[in-house]
Chains A and B, each alone.
Chain A
Amino acid sequence: MKRYATVVARCLLLLAVITLLNFFLIRLVPGGPLEVISRARVESGAAPLSDAERSMFARYYGLDQSLSQQLLSYGGMLMHGDMGQSTFFRRPTAEIVSQYLERTLLLVAAGLLVAVGAGLPLGIISAARRGSLFDSSLLVVEMILHAVPPFLIATAALIVFAVTLHWFPVAGSAAITVGESSFTSVLRHLALPALSLGVWESTTVYYLTRNAMVDILGEDYIRAARAKGLGEHEVLIRHALPALAPALLARFSVLFGSAIGGAFFAEQVFSYPGIGQLSLTAFQNYDYLLLRGIFLVLSATMLAAYLAADLWLIRFDIRSGERT
Chain B
Amino acid sequence: MTRRVPQIAGLAIVALIVTAALLPSGQSDGNPPFQPPDTSHLLGTDDLGHDMLVEVQRGARVSLAVGLAVGLSTIVLGSLVGGMAGIARSLDGPLMGMVDFFLIVPRLPLVILVSLYLRPSVVNAIVLLSLLGWPAVARTMRPLVRGLAQAEFVEVVRSWGAGPAYLLRRHILPQCRGVLLAQCILEARYGVIAEAGLGFLGLEEPTTKSWGMMMAYAFAHPATFVSDAWTWTVVPPALALVALIVGLSLIGTGLESRFDPRMVQHAPFKADSLSEEGGL
Interface residues of A (CB under 8 A from B): 10, 13-14, 17-18, 25-26, 29, 36, 39, 130-131, 136, 139-140, 143-144, 146-152, 155, 159, 163, 200, 203-204, 207-208, 211, 214, 218, 251, 253-255, 257-258, 260-262, 264-265, 268-269, 276, 279-280, 282-284, 286, 288, 291-292, 294-295, 298-299, 302-303, 306, 323-324
In the bound complex, how far is the Cα of B193 from the Cα of A262, in angstroms? Answer: 12
- Which of B104, B202, B270, B280 contacts A299 (CB under 8 A)? B104
Interface presence of B70 (CB below 8 A): no
A303 touching B104, Cβ below 8 Å: yes
Considering only CB atoms and an 8 Å cut-off, how many residues of chain B contact the other chain?
58
- Known interface pairs A155-B234, A211-B266. Does A262 touch B279 (Cβ–Cβ under 8 Å)? yes
Which A residues are in CB contact (< 8 Å) with B116? Answer: 36, 282-283, 286, 288, 291
User: In the assembled complex, how far is the CB of residue B177 from the closest CB belonging to chain A, in whole angstroms?
Assistant: 20
Bound Cα distance A140, B266 (Å): 15
Return A89 CB to nearest CB of chain B, in Å.
16
In the complex, residue of chain A having the shortest beta-carbon distance to the beta carbon of B144: A324
Contact with A along B235-268 (1 / 0, CB 8 A): 0001001100110011001000000000001111
Most buried by A among B113, B139, B272, B276: B113
Cβ contact within 8 Å between A143 and B271: yes
Q: Most chain-A Cβ atoms within 10 A of its Cβ — which of B110, B118, B267, B275?
A: B275
A interface: dominant SS:
helix
Q: Are A264 and B265 in contact (CB under 8 A)?
A: no
* Distance, CA A27 to CA B280, complexed state (A): 25
Are A131 and B270 closer than 8 Å at their CB atoms? no
Q: Once the chains bind, are A258 and B279 in contact (CB under 8 Å)?
A: yes
Select which of B114, B196, B238 is within 8 A of A25 by beta carbon: B114
The chain A residue with its CB closest to the CB of B110 is A295
Cβ proximity bits B198-242 to A, threshold 8 Å, 1 near / 0 not? 001111000000000001000100000100001000100010011
A299 to B96, CA, bound (A): 19
Cβ-defined partner of B106 (8 Å) among A214, A283, A302: A302
Q: How far is the CB of B145 from chain A (nearest CB, A)?
A: 11
B91 within 8 A of A: no
Asked if B246 and A147 make an inter-chain contact with CB atoms under 8 angstroms apart, the answer reads yes
Q: Are A211 and B275 in contact (CB under 8 A)?
A: yes
Report how far A286 CA is from B200 CA in the complex, Å. 19
14 examples of A-B residue contacts, CB within 8 angstroms: A14-B104, A36-B117, A146-B274, A152-B238, A155-B234, A159-B230, A211-B266, A254-B278, A261-B278, A276-B108, A291-B116, A292-B113, A294-B109, A299-B106
Name the residue on B nearest A294 (C-beta). Answer: B109
Chain A residue numbers with a CB within 8 Å of B97 are 13
Known interface pairs A18-B105, A29-B117, A279-B112. Does A143 touch B201 (Cβ–Cβ under 8 Å)? no
B275 touches A253 (CB 8 A): no
Do the beta carbons of A143 and B106 come within 8 Å of each other? Answer: no
CB atoms of A151 and B104 under 8 A apart: no
Q: Are A204 and B238 in contact (CB under 8 A)?
A: no
Query: Given that A14-B104, A151-B197 are known contacts, is A143 also in contact with B278, CB under 8 Å in the complex?
Result: no
Contact of A163 with B265 at beta-carbon distance under 8 Å, contacts A207-B271, A211-B272, A268-B201 already known? no
